[in-house]
Amino acid sequence: MKRYEFNEITIMQYIFLISGAQIGIGILSLPAQLADIANTDGWIAIIIGWLISIIASTIIIKTMAKHPQDTIFDLSRRYFGRIFGTLIHLAFVAYALLASMTVVFTAIHITQVWILPNTPNYLIMILFMLPGFLITRNGVRVLARYAEFVFYLTLWMPILIAIPLQKGTILYMLPILKEGWAPIFQAVKTTVLSFLGFELAFVFYPFLKEKKHAIKAMVIANSISAFTFLLITVTCFIFFSPDETPSLIWPTLSLLKTIEFSFIERFEVIFLSFYLFVMSTTGIPYIFTTVFGVSQLFGKKDHTIVLIIAVCAFILTSFLYTPSFSHIQTMGSWWERYGLWGAYIFPIFLFIYVSMAQWFQGGKKK
């Protein structure tokens, strides 16, 4: 029985959906955070983070593969019973809600600081929610198509980032392993969190058409993200001096500010306008997960009503509450703390639990 037949997505769409969710707001500040902890050795931490995230996503896929038609919401009900299952269900919904709030509010804040300083944030919120609503309403397939489309649409951006690379000083990168491995391992905690987004496989895996390639797809998605993180971080490191990078909040954007052609100035405005697409592929899957999770909780098949309520709630919130930058940072750190449990530790326990349960049932398939 295939429950999500109408919404099946191809392997490519799945890859771009996951890597789209990974590349979002974190990348704008990642180089500064890394330079703060590990100086210019921070890029090594990205590679380690990449390996860890691949391991974690493999565990998620292995768990999900035991019941290929189940999302995490169905799985938690199946294994943990009504009460505990609902609790896990709620926790995951809360996590996705927190993530989508963080992404949306950060995106609004960045837009206000860099592009539209005089526009009130509820207006930007309405503009963000309009496409968000249209895409989320149509379910996973449209969402994945959108992710793929955005990926092709933004392929030129890494090339642009490489322009400042020519003016960089490679000497900044030396010596490698300045202070040994200790700061690098400390930085791994940050890089691991910038890979957050693969845990959405918990929700999107059942929609995948060719499930035997799922692990390969996860590896590719993580690699796309890792490559992007590496490119931007290394560019920032050799363009700004090592002591300067931590002093910038969004080094990636400061980097773009320096690109100037004789016919255009303040290139970061154009870049950021396009980057809103990239941020939307992070925010919308989380919004979808929230809405999908809530409608599953009530046993509803169609999630449009929940979505309308959610969108209205988002817009209403932005009317009443304009988060300051420090609030956004707090929100981000909550997400990261939550994400560390939700995406790295929880899957391991879940995998062990599910394997044990199956073993005790003696291979009896339900």
Partner 1 sequence: MKKYMYVFLCFLFTTGCSAKTQLDDLTLALTVGLDTGKNGKLLIYSVSPVFNKEAKNIYEVIRTLGVTPRDGRSKANAFASGKIVGGKAQNIIVSKTFAKTHDMFSYLDVFYRDPKNSTTANFIVFDGPLKDVMYIRLDDKPRLSVAIRDVLLTAHKSKQTTKINLLEFRRLSLDRAQTPFAPILRVHKGDLIAGGIALFNKQRKYVGSLSQKESPYFAILNKNIKPATSLTLAIKGLTKQKEYVSISIEKGDFSYKPSFQNGMFRFDVHIHLGAILTETTTHIAMKKEKKKLEQLLAKEIQKQLEAIVKKMQTYEVDPIGFGLYARAYEYKPFQKQKSWSKAFAKAEINIHPTVEIISYGVLQ
Q: Which stretch binds partner 1 (CB under 8 A): 166-174, 211-219, 297-305, 311-319?
A: 166-174
Site residues (CB under 8 A) for partner 1, limited to 265-304: 265-266, 268
In this chain, which of 1, 82, 83, 118 binds partner 1, going by CB under 8 A?
118
- For partner 1, give the closer residue by CB, 70 or 268: 268
Is residue 12 within the footprint of partner 1 (CB under 8 A)?
A: no
Is residue 242 within the footprint of partner 1 (CB under 8 A)?
A: yes
Q: How far is the CB of 258 from partner 1 (least distance, A)?
A: 6
Q: How far is the CB of 280 from partner 1 (least distance, A)?
A: 17
Q: Phi, psi (5° rounding) for residue 261? A: -110, 165
Nearest to 20 by CA among 217, 253, 254: 217
Kindly report the length of the chain.
366
In this chain, which of 171, 212, 320, 359 binds partner 1, going by CB under 8 A?
171
Residues 6+ apart with CB under 8 A from 359: none
Contact 332, 106 (CB under 8 A): yes
Helix (H, G, I), strand (E, B) or coil at 212: helix
- For partner 1, give the closer residue by CB, 274 or 334: 274
Q: How far is the CB of 25 from partner 1 (least distance, A)?
A: 17
* DSSP class of 174: P
Note if the bond before 175 is cis, omega within 30 degrees. Answer: yes
Contact 157, 275 (CB under 8 A): yes
Q: Which stretch binds partner 1 (CB under 8 A): 49-57, 92-100, 165-173, 330-338?
A: 165-173
In this chain, which of 155, 159, 174, 182 binds partner 1, going by CB under 8 A?
174
Q: How far is the CB of 174 from partner 1 (least distance, A)?
A: 4
Return the ∠ at Cα 235 (arms to 194 and 257), rounded to 5°. Answer: 95
Token pair listed for 256: 């773009």
Is residue 175 within the footprint of partner 1 (CB under 8 A)?
A: yes
Rounded CA gap, 115 and 205, in Å? 37
Is residue 247 within the footprint of partner 1 (CB under 8 A)?
A: yes
Is residue 241 within the footprint of partner 1 (CB under 8 A)?
A: yes
CA dihedral sign, ordered 289, 274, 248, 237? positive
In this chain, which of 244, 297, 329, 334 binds partner 1, going by CB under 8 A?
244
- For partner 1, give the closer residue by CB, 241 or 330: 241
Token pair listed for 121: 């944030």
Rounded CA gap, 19 and 365, in Å? 33
Q: Which residue has the tokens 């896990």?
A: 88
Rg (CA), the chain: 21
- For partner 1, give the closer residue by CB, 16 or 239: 239
- For partner 1, give the closer residue by CB, 267 or 338: 267
List residues near partner 1 by CB under 8 A: 113-114, 117-118, 127, 169, 171-172, 174-175, 178, 240-244, 247, 253-254, 257-258, 260, 265-266, 268
